[in-house]
Amino acid sequence: MTTKKKISKKDIGKLLGIWSQWFSVLVPSKEENVAKMVGWDGKDVSFLVWYRNTVVPPKANFLPPVEKMFSFQQNRHGYHVEVPQDEQKRLIFGIRPCDARGITMIDKVFVETYEDCYYLSKRKNTVLIGLSCTNPYDSCFCTSLGVKPTESADVDLMFTDIGDEFLIEEVTDKGKELLASAGMVKEATKADDAKAKTVQATVSGMVIRKVDTKDIARKLQACFSDRDYWEKVAAKCISCGVCTFLCPTCFCFDICDELVKKQGARYRGWDSCSFRLYTKMPMENPREEKWRRVRQKVCHKYQFYPMNFDVAACTGCGRCIRLCPVNWDVTQILSSLPASVTSRGDK
Amino acid sequence: MERKSEWEPAIAGFLCKWCSYAGADLAGTSRKKYPANVRVLKVPCSGRVDPLLILKALRLGFDGVLISGCHPGDCHYQAGNYRARRRIALTKKLLEYIGIPEERVQASWVSASEGAKFAQVAADVAKDIEKIGPNKLFAEEGR
Amino acid sequence: MEQELRKEARKLLEEGKVDHIIGFAPGSLKFSTTPLITKEKEEVASLVINRFMVNNLAKFLTEIPGRVGIVAKGCDGRSIVSLIQDNQVVRENVVIIGVPCSGLIDIAKVEKLVGKDRDEIDDIALQGEKVTVTVDGKRKDFPAKEVFFEHCLGCEFSTPQEHDTLIGERVAAVGHEELNRKRIKELKDMAPKQRWAFWKEQFTRCIRCYACRQVCPACFCERCFVEESQPQWVSPVPKWQDNLVFQVIRNIHVAGRCTDCGECERVCPQNIPLRSLSKEMSDLVDEMFHYKAGTDKNAPSLMTAYEHAEAEDLFR
Amino acid sequence: MPITDISQRKKFLDQGNVYLPHIVVIDRIIEETPSVTTIHFNFKDEKLREGFTFESGQFAELSIFGIGEATFCISSSPTRNEHLECAINRVGLVTNAMHRLSVGAEIGFRGPYGNSFPLELMRGKNLVFVGGGIGLAPLRSLIWNVLDNRDKYGNVDIIYGARSPADLCFKYELDSWSRDKTVNMITTVDKGDGKWTGKEGFVPAVLEQVAPSAKNAMAVVCGPPIMIRLTFPVLEKLGFIPEQMITTLEKRMKCGIGKCGRCNIGNLYVCRDGPVFTYAQIRNFLSDEY
């Protein structure tokens, strides 16, 4: 067993200061009351008090809402293409276990078969420092999806709040290195470990929303063609992109060109399966109707993604519930799946 | 006092083909001098000018937009210019509210016989826009 | 009141006067509601009337087929009328169940006032013009005008004018002229450059989730101009320039249709102050053309109508 | 299970950034129908011209800089590799712009992507090609591949239809295939004009009339979704089992490499796991999502 470390909460500013020498440090910050991971100003650690979770998940730091893929210019020899270079070393402090898991899930997609260099270059240059939850929202349901609010294997260092101090677990070697030159980091005692255990139990108990995820993929498969069910479930959905854009595991994107005054560039930006035009082809649209799009969203997370990667593409962060304009609650859907097809099939 | 610069304002001119377009033509053929800043875009009626065209022109970097149609009451399609008037008025006001100088979007009524008026309008609009300088509203990259 | 509403809704379904009921049911979060769209008479038992029925249900009218019974606050009622004016909804197919509303509680404002999130608040109670918020057993009183949505403070039609039945008594809005336009005034006091910088910053945050458009009953276009690809007017990825163009044009498109229900601003996950655009637009429409959206179902819609002499000062 | 193992897929000149297009130059444009043109193109870079390989059934992302990218199957055969060909149906932003290009234009090329037709499985078998409209494009790559290795395969039936005689693609090759004594070529149109002497009728119905034997056979189907949906039941009636039926699907795509999300059919991504599928793989979703 590796020994754990600890640090006093009042030393966090100092620690971030040390890390700032090598990294661009990002911490939870509120801009117009919208919390997201942004560059640390070098002093403010008030997030240690107010921060529950960000509105914009940290996936945005790897797969930004809009990103320039390359710019191009035409000269007499043809096109000249230029790719923006982003070699900045980053450190994200305070990522929650659910969001860290979300990044692991997007990793799987962006690594397999073809490597997505835009995502992976940022990913490789970024260190993740996890921070345990102390006060989960009533919309959180992470424990139903195998995410523990105080533990994470998806980060480099994991900080657990044990009162006046943080217990630090060195999850990766990279994480270990980060602590090497930090004088304020001490060895943790058995008592600290025990405290952390208590915190873990307490906080897990605070996650009150539960979903029985066993068998969900099978149930979804069974009711895939149950049009009546999906129409009912989809009725109040307004087909906006809030749930998908702010989901820590959603990764869909669109690619488009821009040409203004002979300066051209190709961009990519978030896209959502909730949008009607997402799958629109000139003559056909396989998901023209709203219920098909809602079904796709649910099935992708809990049936299709697990078929490809053996795990549901949901971390129970609850953003889709908290932020939905019409309170469309996925946990209610998952709990109400019909056991078998009861209505007319499709088409 | 003012330093003479290379810059010349580029103005997107949406001209109704039944009146202002002919007016501009007349201005040209009768050798009325008007600045060459107005890039003329022929539209079937001032009512065709969707606010989107106005904003898109500014987005693309035009320094100003001029919409010109038939005088009220003279629309070839009865009421196209009346409807344009409401739309343009609201667009102008809203753009002003968000911080686009009012000089950038201008509108006029010019009939087919008013070559002189068109030349005057074009010159006035160009002068207005020269005063406020090039349109850099959308130039900044940002995110 | 809720009992009366449920009885009315059930009756409408039972008597076959409507095929669907659209109303509010309790939401799955504290102090929330969720739209209830149902054909089942058992389900109307969950209909509620409270201070958190935020959605503008008129949004669903254009997609629910057949005859519909719809719960409508003042602003929803105006949106329904506006849809009738635009021939999107047939009056005879709608049974409007009017619910007078003196104002809705803006949970975000409460959160800010007490420094706690929605789920950490024990209770929010409205009595007259006083709102009592209980956190950790401690009660705090606030005047209603401090916790109501801004648009509610500017509400002119708290009881829907157009209705078939009315649940409860007519009420007056808890109005507050100054707070209603406070942010707009602040913007108008700025220099144009500052205003532009302000909006540029706001729209830099926009992620183009289209929640504002999707939640809006006035945005009923089959295909939005931002989705046009030939030509592509607006880039589909959220560059601030295109975000701004999108929102400005959207506001012009809904001019004369926007009933100031405030939904666009409420649902924005990036807290972009969209009402500062839409309210100013409504004001302009009123000032210049003496038109208030959704107040006369027989009137032609704003952009199809005209007077012989108007706005002439803006033309050369 | 995908027909070809993805992990084994050959990546063409792996360059790190898969989203960067190579420049290709259009060297010929052929008008196929009023709405379809075929472009012939080749890499600007000589090394790429020499080194590029692909297989029948694969597709590419072509782009016009400043307009955007779109997905096209490669309609030429790897057995005739002097240049590449794509048939372009004028339907959207990019394809309309493609139709405005002229010879010499430089466009972007990413690919080849996707799996390919299972030539090994098809070897020694009788082959039935069923195509509709521009759906002949991917089949054409395969047909030439087969005809250029004629002795490796059994009988070849080609059933190809379009809405009208004017909408038939690759007319110049349809003739040569029907003259080929080793090929049973049947062309049909929904509605003929005065000059049309061939068959009239929808492709699935004509297929039923022709009734090719399922014995030791494989059927390859490509066309508009409605045609694909109606063709499989006919093949089943003729005795084909789902594993004998192959199709190549078209979906809206952006990345072409299984990232952007939109082209899924269930858990399969058409760009990554397809576009070539057996009916066995997709029949559960076919009625529902395609």
**What CATH number should be reported for the domain holding residue D71?**
2.40.30.10
Task: Note whether D190 and D285 are same-domain residues.
Answer: yes
In a domain, D1, yes or no: no
Q: Assess contact for A253 and D253: CB atoms under 8 A.
A: no
Rounded to whole angstroms, how far apart are CA atoms D54 and D81? 9
Pick the residue of B67, B86, B92 with the most C CBs within 10 A to test the interface with C by mutation: B86
Statement to judge: residues D134 and D95 lie in one domain? no
Contacts of A315 (CB under 8 A, 6+ apart): A98, A99, A101, A102, A105, A142, A145, A147, A248, A249
Question: Would B138 be classed as within a structural domain?
Answer: no
CA–CA dist C94, C7 (Å, integer): 18
Same-domain pairing of D179 and D270: yes
> Rounded distance, CA A71 to CA A257, Å?
9
Question: What average pLDDT does this structure show over C187-201?
Answer: 96
Strand residue runs (E) in chain C: 20-26, 33-38, 68-72, 94-98, 123-127, 130-135, 138-143, 165-166
Instruction: Give the end-to-end CA distance of chain C in Å, rounded to a whole number.
Output: 57
Q: What are the residue boundaries of the structural domains of chain A, listed by start? A: 5-206, 216-335
Categorize the per-residue pLDDT at B141 as very low, low, confident or very high, splitting at 50, 70 and 90: confident
Q: If DSSP codes are grouped into helix, strand and coil, which group holds residue D159?
A: strand
Q: Can you tell me the mean pLDDT for C244-266? A: 96
Sheet containing strand A263-270, edge to edge, reads A78-82, A66-75, A263-270, A253-260
Q: 10 Å Cβ neighbour count for A185?
A: 19
User: Half-sphere exposure of C46 toward its Cβ, with a 13 Å CA cutoff?
Assistant: 16
Report the pLDDT averaged over residues A249-264: 90
Q: What is the pLDDT of residue B35?
A: 78
Q: A51-89: buried (b, 16+ CB within 10 Å) or exposed (e) per residue?
A: bbbbbbbbbbbbbbbbbbbbbbeeeeeebebebeeeeee
Predicted local distance difference test score (pLDDT) of residue A340: 63
Q: Is the pLDDT of residue A168 over 50?
A: yes
Domain membership of residue C285 (yes or no) is: yes
Are D54 and D107 within one domain? yes
Q: Give the end of a domain, one of C91, C116, C147.
A: C147
Question: Whose structure tokens read 């297989």?
Answer: D55
D12 has a pLDDT exceeding 50: no
Q: What angle do CA D237, D240, D242 make, to 5 degrees?
A: 110
Range of the domain at C281: 2-104+148-303
What are the tokens at A261? 């005054």
Q: Mean pLDDT, to the nearest integer, of C231-241?
A: 92
Q: Is residue B108 part of a domain?
A: yes
Distance CA B122, CA B107 (A): 10
B64 pairs with which residues across the strands?
Answer: B11
Query: How far is Cα D182 from Cα D147, in angstroms, rounded to an integer?
Result: 9
The shortest CB-CB distance from D289 to any of A254, A264, A286 is to: A286
Confidence of residue A33 (pLDDT cuts 50, 70, 90): confident
Residue A255 has pLDDT above 60, yes or no: yes
Can you count the helices (H) and strands (E) in chain B? 4, 4
- D13, D33: one domain: yes
> Which amino acid is it at C240?
W
Instruction: Tell me: pLDDT of A167 over 50.
Output: yes
Residue C1 reports pLDDT greater than 70? yes
Q: Which of A175 and A263 is assigned the larger pLDDT?
A: A175
Residue B65 lies in a domain: yes
pLDDT of residue D3: 42
Q: What is the mean pLDDT of residues A221-237?
A: 93
Task: List the single residue in A34, A269, A275 with the smallest CB-CB distance to C270.
Answer: A34
Distance CA A340, CA A54 (A): 38
Pairing of strands C123-127, A78-82: unpaired
Q: Using CA atoms, how far apart are residues C40 and C13, in angstroms rounded to an integer?
A: 8
Q: Considering only alpha carbons, which residue of chain C is nearest residue A322?
A: C29
CB atoms within 10 A of CB A5: 21
Residue C151 CA to residue D53 CA, distance in Å, equals 63
CA atoms within 13 A on the CB side of D239: 8
Instruction: Compute the average pLDDT of residues A157-175.
Output: 95
Query: Position of tokens 């070529």?
Result: D185
CB D24 within 8 A of CB D54: no
With a pLDDT cut of 90, the percent of chain C lying above it is 92
- The nearest CA of chain D is from the CA of A304 a distance in Å of 4
At residue A131, the pLDDT reads 97
Torsional sign, CA A234, A236, A240, A243:
negative
C180 pLDDT band (50/70/90 cuts)? Answer: very high
Question: Who among A65, A66, A261 is closest to B61 (CB)?
Answer: A261
Q: Are B83 and B67 in contact (CB under 8 A)?
A: no
Nearest residue of D to residue C236, measured between CA atoms: D68
Which residue, among C214, C215, C216, C228, would best test binding to A if mutated, counting the most A CBs under 10 Å from its CB? C214
Range of D88's domain? 6-113
pLDDT in tens, C106-164: 999 999 999 999 999 999 999 988 999 999 999 999 999 999 999 999 999 999 999 99
Mean pLDDT of chain D: 90
State how far the alpha carbon of C63 is from the alpha carbons of A311, C22, C58, C221, in Å.
36, 12, 10, 12
Is it the case that chain D and chain B have 3 or more CB pairs lying under 8 Å apart?
no
Q: What pLDDT is recorded for position A346?
A: 43
Q: Is residue C313 part of a domain?
A: no
Rounded distance, CA D289 to CA D283, Å? 10
The Cα–Cα gap between C252 and B80 comes to 17
Report the Cα B4 to chain-centroid distance in Å: 24
Contact flag C284-B100 (C-beta cutoff 8 Å) = no
Number of domains in chain D: 2
pLDDT of residue D15: 58
On whether both D233 and D162 belong to a single domain, the answer is: yes
Amino acid at position C301, single letter: S
Query: Are residue C153 and residue C75 in the same domain, yes or no?
Result: yes
Percent over 70 (pLDDT), chain B: 95
Q: For residue B60, is it within any domain?
A: yes
Residue range A67-88: mean pLDDT, rounded: 91
Does residue C141 share a domain with residue C271?
no
Q: Nearest C-alpha of chain D: how many angstroms from A36?
A: 24
Chains A and C lie in contact, requiring 3 or more CB pairs less than 8 Å apart: yes
Task: Give residue A186's pLDDT.
Answer: 93
Cα–Cα dist A127/C86, whole Å: 55
In a domain, D255, yes or no: yes
The greatest distance separating any two alpha carbons of chain B, rounded to the nearest whole angstrom, comes to: 49
**What b-and-e string marks burial along D152-171, b requiring 16 or more CB atoms within 10 Å of the CB?**
ebeebbbbbbbeebebbbbe
Contact C29 A235 (CB under 8 A): no
Give the pLDDT of residue B4: 55
pLDDT tens digits, residue range A307-317? 999 999 999 99
Q: C232 in contact with D at a CB cutoff of 8 Å?
A: yes
CB contact under 8 A, A260 and B143: no
Same domain, D19 and D154: no
Residue B30, domain extent = 11-132
- The phi, psi pair for C290, rounded to 5°, reads 50, 50
Q: Which of B79, B89, B143 sits opposite C314 (nearest CB)?
A: B89
Residues in chain A within 8 Å Cβ distance of B60: 260-261
Bridge-partner residues for A75, per DSSP?
A: A78
Calpha distance B134→B79 (Å, rounded) = 34
> CA-to-CA distance for A31 and C204, rounded, in angstroms?
12
- Residue D110 above 60 pLDDT? yes
Q: Are C31 and C128 within one domain?
A: no
pLDDT at A51: 95
Is the pTM of the predicted complex or chain greater than 0.80?
Answer: yes
Whether residues D127 and D234 fall in one domain: yes
What integer is the mean pLDDT of A214-232? 91
D142 in the same domain as D100: no
Gap between the Cα atoms of D218 and D156, Å rounded: 10
pLDDT at B3: 54
Domain termination site, one of C147, C177, C206: C147
Residue pLDDT, tens place only, D53-105? 999 999 999 999 999 999 999 999 999 988 999 999 999 899 999 999 999 99
* Cα–Cα distances in angstroms (integers) from residue B57 to residues A153, B80, D202, in the given order: 52, 21, 48
| 3-state SS assignment for residue C96 | strand
Q: What is the mean pLDDT of residues C284-308?
A: 94
Per-residue pLDDT, averaged over B17-41, amounts to 89
| Overall domain count for chain C | 2
Pick the last residue of a domain from D60, D94, D113: D113
Per residue in A283-309, pLDDT tens? Answer: 889 999 999 999 999 999 999 999 999
Is C233 within the bounds of a domain?
A: yes
Quick one: pLDDT at residue A31?
85
Q: Which amino acid is at C5?
A: L
The structural domain count of chain B equals 1
Checking if the pLDDT of C41 tops 80, the result is yes
Whether D67 and D97 have beta carbons less than 8 Å apart is answered as yes
Q: Domain check: are D37 and D169 in the same one?
A: no
Confidence check: pLDDT of A263 > 90: no
Residue B143 in contact with partner chain A when CB distance is under 8 A:
yes
CB contact under 8 A, D66 and A254: no
Q: Which helix (H) or strand (E) holds D177?
A: helix D171-179
Say how far apart CA D237 and CA D202 lie, in whole Å.
17
Please name the residues between 272 and 301 in chain C that touch chain B, using a CB distance below 8 Å. Answer: 277, 280-281, 284-285, 288-289
pLDDT at C286 over 50: yes
Domain co-membership, C128 together with C187: no
State pLDDT tens for residues D155-210: 999 999 999 999 999 999 999 999 999 999 999 999 888 888 888 899 999 999 99
CATH number for the domain that contains residue B102: 3.40.50
**Closest CA of chain A from D253, distance in Å:** 8
Residue D264 lies in a domain: yes
Q: Residue A275: pLDDT above 90?
A: yes
Distances, alpha carbon B121 to alpha carbons B63, B110, B112, B128, D51, in Å: 16, 9, 14, 10, 62
> Is it the case that residue C2 has pLDDT exceeding 80?
yes
Q: pLDDT (tens digit, 9 = 90+) per residue, A197-219?
A: 999 999 999 999 999 988 899 99
Q: Is C148 helix (H, G, I), strand (E, B) or coil?
A: strand
